[in-house]
Amino acid sequence: MSVDSGQLHEGRSFDPYGAHRDDPYSFLADGSETEPVFYAPLLGAWCVTRREDMVAVLRDDRNFTARDHNPRSTVALPDDVSRMLRTWRGAGALAVGSLDPPEHTRIREVLNVGFTPASLRAFEPTVRAIATDLAERTAVAAEFDFITEFAVPYALEVICRRLGIPDEYLDRCRTWSEQRIELMMLQRDTDPDQLRAYARGLVDFGAFARSLVQERLASPRDDLISELLHEGKAGNTLTADEAAVQIPTLIFAGHMTCAEALGTILFQQLRSPGGWAEVVDGTIAPRDLVEEGLRFDSPLAGMYRTALHDVVVGDVHLAAGSRLLLLYGAAGRDSRSHACPAGFSPGSGSATHLAFGHGIHFCLGAGFARLELEIAIQAIAARMPDLTLAPGPPPRHRPVFPLRALTELRVRQRGRASGPSSGDPAGTLAPAELT
């Protein structure tokens, strides 16, 4: 029976910041059969939980727009902070994820030049060198936090090296990314001066991106920023403003989601009956582990869309202007697509997922991310074959929905003498308390 959105006001008490932070899937599975599209007052959006409904929305760029696809702060921001948030990237241009055709088509075509199979093959030795070096340095510790000492610095260095960002800026890129999360996903009142500090950080981030573009315009190098400005497909390139706008997004998405996925994948395999030994001895192939990890707990729980016209999603009639949250993670647990959706089983042949989205906004770096994750797993297996979970309570997730990020992941290596952690090899920040 169809439902009119105007008839529903209370919705369901979905709280991915609190009660459902660590396990949203049980809550979503309970209602997926009877109410696959429901209103979540806390999020101000209609949550879509079935894979087929999400795919239909993602294929329909005439009825749905990606312009407002990011999460919104639920806390009123000071006027000057709001102004900086609107302008920190520069005037006018938008990141590719916020564009609709035809602008999206042109920008994405140029960005694709950096993620072709040929470009991935050329960059693969660099990724392996980064993974090997970091694994060797991390492996000296008997116990350490995998998130801060491997996952984050690895993913950050890989994407920054591809872009051509000097190593001395890694710390600042990580800080700017954290400040963006703070402002974009704010769920509680925060000291206004602290918010202004975050916003000024983003202004610096935008200025940094524009300075890189000017440098590469004058002196091209062997990096992605130069390719976007000088080597576009069929002579198409980005303008300076267009290229500068994409850089923060490439840094943010390129390391945040990869680090989150890597942490989740390792955690799930370490807690499985076969443990890490099944990866080390080849019982589980790295590629199968990656795909099942992405299905089981997507690093991006979902993405927002807005209805341009009155539409029907599932059996719910939604008015123009309705905000939808497509829950990619729930699609990975859809019983219509998976025989055992709540079971973690690499290589089972059912690892279809929407972790990279679908349709025209399918993640352009999907191949890059898959390569990066597989290489990391290979390096860790080769240099840390006896890895186990450290004793203690299970790790918690950070309240940064729709990201799915572990606060920490303490791991231990059997046979190594207890001693201090290897430290923070890339000088990254410890996870901030984000709300």
Of 236 and 25, more confident: 25
- What pLDDT shows up at residue 420? 43
* Tens of pLDDT, residues 369-399: 999 999 999 999 999 999 999 999 999 999 9
209-246 residue pLDDT tens:
999 999 999 999 999 999 999 976 656 889 999 999 99
The pLDDT > 70 percentage for the chain reads: 91
pLDDT of residue 424: 38
pLDDT for 334: 87
Q: What is the mean pLDDT of residues 181-207?
A: 90
CA distance 159 to 164: 9
pLDDT at 231: 79
CB–CB of 302/358 below 8 Å? no
- pLDDT of 3 > 70? The answer is no
pLDDT recorded at residue 433: 30
How many residues in total does the chain contain?
A: 435
10 has pLDDT over 90: no
Within 10 angstroms of residue 273's Cβ, the number of other Cβ atoms is 6
Q: In angstroms, how far is CA 31 from the centroid of its own chain?
A: 26
What gap in Å lies between CA 191 and CA 271, rounded to an integer?
39
- For the domain made up of 3-413, the CATH class stated in words is mainly alpha
**Gyration radius of the chain over CA positions:** 21
Reading the block at residue 23, the tokens are: 């396990």
Note if the pTM is more than 0.85: yes
The pLDDT mean for the chain works out to 89
Phi, psi of 430 (to 5 degrees): -70, 150
**In which band, very low, low, confident or very high, does the pLDDT at 350 lie, cut at 50, 70 and 90?**
low
Q: Where are the domains positioned within the chain?
A: 3-413
With a cut of 50, say whether residue 426 has pLDDT above it.
no
Exposed/middle/buried for 183, CB within 10 Å: 0-12, 13-18, 19+? buried
In the chain, % of residues over pLDDT 90: 76
DSSP H stretches of helix in 18-76: 24-32, 51-59
Residue 6 region by backbone torsions, left for phi larger than 0, else alpha for psi between -120 and 50, else beta: alpha
Count CA atoms closer than 13 A to 427's CA, side-chain side.
9
- The closest of 372, 365, 408, 420 to 112, measured between CA atoms, is 365
Which pLDDT belongs to residue 372? 98
In this prediction, residues 56-67 reach a mean pLDDT of 96
Which position has the token pair 């991006």?
300
- Cα(412)–Cα(39) distance, integer angstroms: 42
Give the alpha-carbon dihedral of 432, 199, 160, 108, to 10 degrees: 120
Question: CB–CB of 270/307 below 8 Å?
Answer: no
User: What is the DSSP secondary structure assignment for residue 273, as one 8-state letter?
Assistant: T
